[in-house]
A and B are shown apart, each in its own frame.
Chain A
Amino acid sequence: MENKEQKPTGGRGKKILIYIIVGWFVLGVASSLIISFVVPIIPKDCATTECFVEAANNCRNAKLEVVDDADMLWRYRAAAFCGGFEKILVVLNDKETARMKELLEGKSLSCDYIKGNFDKRWLITSIFGLENCQGELKEILGQLLFLIQ
């Protein structure tokens, strides 16, 4: 009994060392995976257009709210893994007619883009760059644009 208990101490130490190294490796891989999959999913609340464009170009989930010169509140969302861009006209200013509000408030359009190719015009103009977009807002924008003389 005594002989058996005295033998294996050196081999066990090595085993423990291997376990630790393997454990570190597994944990490192797991952490990398978590970071690379979780980071793009967690929404990034941007405060500037630049932040949003950068996040969208890097395929991150991002959100931005902007009140434009005409006091209209726009909400922009970029989905993780470059899954698309969404533009929502949240509220018009209080001076707009009830019909205009009914027509536009809450309406959205969504656009496709590939990594690094986010079209900044989606944030700074209402009508340009919408070829790859679809949605009710696009249709209404077209009709209202047509009414301009």
Chain B
Amino acid sequence: MYKLKLKKNLALAFLISSILFLSVFAAIDFVFAQTAPSDCETFSECDGKCNTAFPESFCDPVYHNGKYSHSVCGYRTEQYYACRKTCVGKPTECARPACPANSSYSNGQCNCNAGYWMFKDMACVTKDEWCGRTYGYNSHEANGECPCDAGYTFLNGACVTDNEWCKATYGEGYFREGNLCASKSQPAQGQTSPKTIINIQKTPATQPSQKTQSAKKTPPPRKLTNQEMLARVKLWEGVLEYDHKDAQQSVEAMWDMLAAAMGRPTRAMLNQRAKIKRDAADKEFKEAARDGRIRNSATRENIRKMYYDSWLDNPLDKKTEMMMAVFEKDKGNRDTADVFEKFAYMNLGQKERNTLAAAVNRARESMGEKLMREEVNRTLLKKQLDASSFMNQLRQNVNDAIGEAKETAKDACYGVSACDWAWAKKVGIITEAQKLSREVREVMNEPIKKTFGFDWGATIKSLYGK
């Protein structure tokens, strides 16, 4: 009997240990299955598989110090990708992108064949297709431009019917009659009154580059129209890739402002009232910082509302906009804060822009010399920075963001002086650099103080005590 018991116990022990072993083995197997090396672990296995797994991936060998160490798959930010086995041992071919259809590679880039234009840096399409995709399919290519088809007129970046053009331009009730816009109450035939009959001024659609150049020529007026405000919001939405909720908030704020501005007596009176409100907000802010109430979130919100109230009366006040940027950021609304900050820069007059740009250039030169630790002359330093592929990549990042913004604001920006892209780019660089670098914030403190009448460092110190 004892032998029988012993056998049973042994069998039980064996069974349990088997289960234990199998379970542990299964767990280990599962773990390793999860972390198994990928198809792209070695370059020879890479060919074709990157694209299958992820259409925008590429596969290149790592070429360093004159030899290939290993290969990696990665993400190409540019439009072309390829998984090329032939790259091994041929670094020059690696640098050559796979060109899209209807294009060929020359002078270090892909160029569209004759009769084709590059659309959004992605594909070479026929000129008519390019016009259609850009301005709507009621436009066509002619002499390098994209005029609208007969019966259509260019409006806000698209070709619309003449009736729609009349309605949008002169209001509800206007329609196309002959070569005129006429109102329903007063038909065109026989009418001569300039109040009701207006010649259609057809504007041929042109390529975006030409539109952008013309937009740069006019300095921004001091009075914003609805379209300009919308254009600015869209501009920064595009640059910053806004979170939808936050962007919505910005747009709502714009409309609040526009609604609030409706029916007010004069701009001067509104500005005066805005200044009184801003002074009151400044005073409350100083006092709250002095007696420590500023640490209370309810006090901060109250002060923010005071500035906001002032801004509704005068949305062009650059100091108020800077204060709004600080308080919105404090609330965690980074995107809204960015809009306010960039509005402040965009609202500068030409003279103020020139002064700020000169101060930025001086700060830039001293920072460049300090950063590069070289007592080289400025021309040489500039040459070095221009030649750096890292710097070119940063430039490309900025250009891409501006390009996206242009695309986003394309319709709203047409003919709107608010979309001064050259200045928008400078503002983008200055504000983004300040966000990233403490040193930049420090060197920019004085120019900002002079230009905006706003001491960033002191405000932050008052708000956070540091």
- The answer, among B27, B75, B439, for a CB contact under 8 Å with A124, is B75
Q: How far is the CA of A39 from the CA of B30 in the complex (A)?
A: 9
User: A97, B384: Cβ atoms under 8 Å?
Assistant: yes
Q: How far is the CA of A73 from the CA of B364 in the complex (A)?
A: 28
User: B54, A49: Cβ atoms under 8 Å?
Assistant: yes
Interface residue B398 (Cβ < 8 Å from any Cβ of A): yes
User: A146, B367: Cβ atoms under 8 Å?
Assistant: yes
For window 62-100 of chain A, which residues contact chain B by CB distance below 8 Å? 64-73, 91-97, 99-100
- The answer, among A23, A50, A70, A94, for a CB contact under 8 Å with B390, is A70
Q: How far is the CA of A112 from the CA of B400 in the complex (A)?
A: 25
Interface residue B359 (Cβ < 8 Å from any Cβ of A): no
Q: Mark A94-134, 1 if CB is under 8 A from B, else 0.
A: 11110110011000000000000000010111111011000
- The answer, among B46, B74, B394, for a CB contact under 8 Å with A148, is B394
Chain A residues positioned under 8 Å from B72 (CB to CB): 47, 65-67
Q: How far is the CA of A16 from the CA of B16 in the complex (A)?
A: 10
Interface of B is mostly: helix
Please name the 3 residue pairs, one residue from A and one from B, whose CB atoms are nearest each other, closest first: A142-B437, A142-B436, A47-B40
User: B435, A131: Cβ atoms under 8 Å?
Assistant: yes
Closest to A149 in B: B364
Q: Which residues of A contact B (CB under 8 A)?
A: 5, 12, 16, 19-20, 23-24, 27-28, 30-31, 34-35, 38-39, 42-51, 64-73, 91-97, 99-100, 103-104, 121, 123-128, 130-131, 138-149
B289 to chain A, nearest CB (A): 25
Write 21 A-B pairs (CB below 8 A) sorted by A numbering.
Answer: A19-B16, A28-B23, A34-B31, A35-B27, A38-B31, A39-B35, A44-B34, A45-B35, A47-B46, A47-B72, A64-B74, A67-B72, A71-B389, A72-B393, A73-B62, A92-B389, A92-B390, A95-B389, A123-B75, A131-B435, A143-B437
Q: Which residues of B contact A (CB under 8 A)?
A: 1, 8, 12, 15-16, 19-20, 23-24, 26-27, 30-31, 34-35, 37-41, 46, 50, 53-54, 56-57, 60, 62-65, 72-78, 241, 334, 363-364, 367-368, 371-374, 384-385, 387-395, 397-398, 400-401, 429-430, 432-440
User: B27, A99: Cβ atoms under 8 Å?
Assistant: no
B318 to chain A, nearest CB (A): 21
Q: How far is the CA of A42 from the CA of B391 in the complex (A)?
A: 36
User: A145, B16: Cβ atoms under 8 Å?
Assistant: no
Q: How far is the CA of A138 from the CA of B1 in the complex (A)?
A: 77
Contact A27 B23, CB 8 Å, known A142-B433, A147-B385: yes
Closest to A147 in B: B368
A110 to chain B, nearest CB (A): 14
Q: How far is the CA of A104 from the CA of B393 in the complex (A)?
A: 14
